[in-house]
Structure 1
């Protein structure tokens, strides 16, 4: 049996028509009986690069006793021209995270997956110090266990003061090797209070993108720093009351 963290993460393939556009990472989060796929906003829509998929394919394990079996689940991104994802903004900008509701009743009956829950997200940002160890499980450059269809994990550390908004933005920095394909991966640290929990990881953030600076590529290595949006914004975008208010506004033509 694979570790629960690996079963909480899935490979995403972005599609437009019959064309494969890119690969990325997502993970499952559940709240009040609703399961969401969490990933980056730039995975589902990125205006600067004209990246506009119409649907996602996510990998599923249809047989809990045989992880070598794989099926792909089609996830439309629009309904009658309206985006199906939930997003949020903070006081400075839009946040590079989306939550997409999943109809898990359409999943295979014995599908094997694990969800992060509200208890994995702490709005109390104490006790995470600079240099704290992190894991970023995902699909760097699409690389993964192609037999069991599981992600791999990169090790990283907290590279900026956790709890402070780096440059005023809603993210902190991690120091670790990441690549294209890791977009949307959970950034986690191990829980110390209940190591026997089914999913014994604290969800600190969502990996978004790598940073670099102008440099002499012959003399200087890549910067190796990454942005991770604070995970507590997921609680805002999946709040049932806020989701209901937004639905009413959309129905009535409000903004």
Structure 2
């Protein structure tokens, strides 16, 4: 027995051809018959840090009876010089979220995973209050269960009013201890009761973890880091997977 939420996450390794670059987090999102990998846009392209991977690899479970069985699955990021991912944009500018479609027929036949769906996005009847307990499901610094290839979760608290765009941007704040490698992780909240649209994943998908926040004038000797993070609202996925 294990928590199905752990099967939604994918450890991402970025490459320039065969040269390894960085580690990051991602998760699966399904809409209709299509499957997508979701992560932060800066995982796939980040001009300020001169991060230009040409492909990514994710680790897949390939034996439902043995979680130690896994394989690497390579996903190209470009075709003929054109990017294959879709990234978010709104009136305030770029949104640090990207999705790339996965060809289901290319996956190993026995691939074991779980995917969020539109039914996991918050609806009008879902109460998401400031101070609510959340989880961030990912791979901080690439750390994970190397035997069973499972992610870890970090506890978080909702630190800004959910539904309001913090400073006019399309994200909300969480209070959580995070590290490099967590970019692209799902930010979720446990739900109770039965909702057939959510299957065996009784979670709300609230957002996509992007980055830690800090105060520009903080005295690094006297003042601790804020410990706050931005998570982009997950409803952007309905736009990015619509075409």
Please report the TM-score for the alignment, with normalisation by the length of structure 2.
Answer: 0.95
Which residue does 2:223 correspond to in 1? 220
- With over 3 angstroms needed to count, the CA separation of the structure-2 counterparts of 1:126 and 1:63, relative to structure 1, is closer
Give the CA deviation at 1:218: 2.5
Distance 2:189 2:172 in 1: 14
Mapping for residues 70-109 of structure 1, pairs under 5 Å: 70-109=70-109
What's the CA shift string for 1:3-50, capped at 9, x where partnerless?
110001010000002211100001000001000000010000011111
> Secondary structure in 2 aligned to 1:10?
strand
- With over 3 angstroms needed to count, the CA separation of the structure-2 counterparts of 1:224 and 1:201, relative to structure 1, is same
Which residue does 1:111 correspond to in 2? 111
What's the CA shift string for 1:87-106, capped at 9, x where partnerless?
22111111111110001211
Q: Which runs of 5+ in 1 are unaligned?
A: 244-255
Distance 1:64 1:142 in 2: 23
Decide which moves more: 114-123 or 46-55: 114-123
> How many residues of Structure 1 are paired with residues of Structure 2 in the alignment?
240
Mapping for residues 179-198 of structure 1, pairs under 5 Å: 179-194=179-194, 197-198=199-200
Please report the TM-score for the alignment, with normalisation by the length of structure 1.
Answer: 0.91
Q: Contact between 1:39 and 1:97, CA under 8 Å: does it hold in 2?
A: yes
Q: Which runs of 5+ in 2 are unaligned?
A: none
2:163 maps to 1:163: yes
Distance 2:124 2:7 in 1: 26
Candidates 230, 235, 242, aligned match of 1:232? 235
Which residue does 1:11 correspond to in 2? 11
Distance 1:139 1:113 in 2: 16
Which residue does 1:25 correspond to in 2? 25
Higher helix residue share = 1
What's the C-alpha RMSD, in Å, of the aligned pairs?
A: 1.4
Give the CA deviation at 1:75: 0.2
What's the CA shift string for 1:108-151, capped at 9, x where partnerless?
11111000001001253862111011000100011111110100
Distance 2:195 2:177 in 1: 26
> Secondary structure in 2 aligned to 1:97?
strand
Candidates 206, 211, 216, aligned match of 1:204? 206
Higher strand residue share = 2
